[in-house]
Amino acid sequence: MRRHAGPLALLRWGISLVLMLFVLLLVTFLIGKAAPIDPVLQVVGDRASPEAYQEARHRLGLDRPVYEQFARYVANAARGDLGRSTSTGRPVGEDLRQYFPATLELATLGIALGVLFGVPLGMLAAHQHNRWIDQLLRLVGLLGYSVPVFWLGLVGLLVFYAKLGWVGGPGRLDDIYQYTVDSWSNLVLVDTLRAGNAEAFRNGLSHLVLPAALLGYFSLAYISRMTRAFFLEELSKEYVLTARVKGASELRVLVRHVLPNVAAPLLTVIALSYAVLLEGAVLTETVFSWPGIGLYITNALFSADVSAVLGGTLLVGLCFVLLNTLTDVFGLLMDPRART
């Protein structure tokens, strides 16, 4: 089916995005409403007088009809006002700004590893279809998406940190560096470089290596499987034969001929994988005591901090939705057949 690129497709994509964001906000709003916790009490405390209660209730807009509350919620969210966290006492938005970069750093490194190793491995597997290397890679991939990531993280810590001492333990930096490095971007690698502290940088890296490798393996399993599938399908096509007849080497055929043809669906797979990694970080962060969004949400969960949980959910949901709709754009951009 030909997609007609240009303003119409862009408009459709925009509408799609807005619709998804709307539903996301609606869902988080409804969940918030369904929480058994009284938000007014959270603000004024248990001992407030009835008048103070009413006043707070009015200020929070809870005496207005539901749809008005929703509108207010959306307006606030657009401005970045997601309420106040009851555990940290700060605006949720501020909390998110502090914790999100850590997750971003981890997930980005993870996906980079996943792509760096996953794509070539998938290509290799497709090329060596059904030979032993293909079987081996399939097995490795299969294990990758059958294993509970958080458990593998624990085992990894056991083996590589406790027993072998190759990597740093839980947390992003050893305590000694924790307070000597200025947190400007909240990305460990960037901040330590900026401070010119090579030791701290190496230390940060040693802490990043294990969780990033874990997430990398997780995404590698999916990416290499899909790459293999895409390549297998293309390798049976005629233009590949033409390239071979011209005298192209196998490597050239794979990289210069097939890869551009699968670029669009492959990027889609990578984007989706990235979204899944952001989610997977939730559990991984708990295991590695990584101060990111995942840890923030789970901690908020246990202290019944509804605004924080919903704020975090909204942020992760936003990333998810953006990445999902981005994949539509890839198809339009990369395939010349869709552009005309």
Binders in 185-204 for another protein, by CB under 8 A: none
Q: Considering CB under 8 A, how many residues would be counted as binding another protein?
A: 75
306 near another protein (CB under 8 A): yes
Of the residues 182, 241, 255, 289, which one makes contact with another protein according to CB under 8 A: 241
Backbone angles phi, psi at 178, to 5 degrees: -50, -40
The 124-143 contact track toward another protein, x by CB under 8 A, reads: -----xx-----------xx
Please, are residues 125 and 230 in contact by the beta-carbon 8 Å criterion?
no
Of the residues 85, 103, 203, 286, which one makes contact with another protein according to CB under 8 A: 286
Euclidean distance between CA atoms 256 and 24, whole angstroms: 41
Query: What is the footprint of another protein within residues 215-234 (CB under 8 A)?
Result: 232
Stretch of 57-65, 88-96, 208-216, 283-291 contacting another protein, by CB under 8 A: 283-291
Q: What is the DSSP string of 282-321?
A: HHHHHHHT--SHHHHHHHHHHTT-HHHHHHHHHHHHHHHH
Please, are residues 277 and 211 in contact by the beta-carbon 8 Å criterion?
no
Backbone angles phi, psi at 192, to 5 degrees: -65, -35
Contacts of 71 (CB under 8 A, 6+ apart): none
74 near another protein (CB under 8 A): no
274 near another protein (CB under 8 A): no
301 near another protein (CB under 8 A): yes
Q: Report DSSP state, residue 246.
A: T
Q: Could you tell me how many helices (H) and strands (E) the chain has, helices first?
A: 16, 0
Of the residues 59, 90, 116, 151, which one makes contact with another protein according to CB under 8 A: 151
Of the residues 50, 65, 89, 148, which one makes contact with another protein according to CB under 8 A: 148
Nearer to another protein by Cβ, of 200 and 225: the residue is 225
Q: Report DSSP state, residue 83.
A: -
Of the residues 3, 9, 13, 27, which one makes contact with another protein according to CB under 8 A: 27
Euclidean distance between CA atoms 185 and 182, whole angstroms: 9
Query: What is the footprint of another protein within residues 103-122 (CB under 8 A)?
Result: none
Nearer to another protein by Cβ, of 1 and 65: the residue is 1
Of the residues 146, 164, 165, 196, which one makes contact with another protein according to CB under 8 A: 146
**260 is written with which tokens?**
């551009």
Please, are residues 114 and 216 in contact by the beta-carbon 8 Å criterion?
yes
Of the residues 7, 36, 89, 196, which one makes contact with another protein according to CB under 8 A: 36
CA proximity to 21, closest of 319, 318, 257, 220: 318
Q: Give me the least distance between CB of 52 and another protein, in Å please.
A: 27
Q: Is the dihedral of CA 206, 208, 209, 210 positive or negative?
A: positive
Stretch of 43-51, 112-120, 196-204, 238-246 contacting another protein, by CB under 8 A: 238-246
Euclidean distance between CA atoms 59 and 54, whole angstroms: 9
Nearer to another protein by Cβ, of 8 and 31: the residue is 31
Stretch of 32-40, 47-55, 192-200, 205-213 contacting another protein, by CB under 8 A: 32-40
Nearer to another protein by Cβ, of 60 and 248: the residue is 248
340 near another protein (CB under 8 A): yes
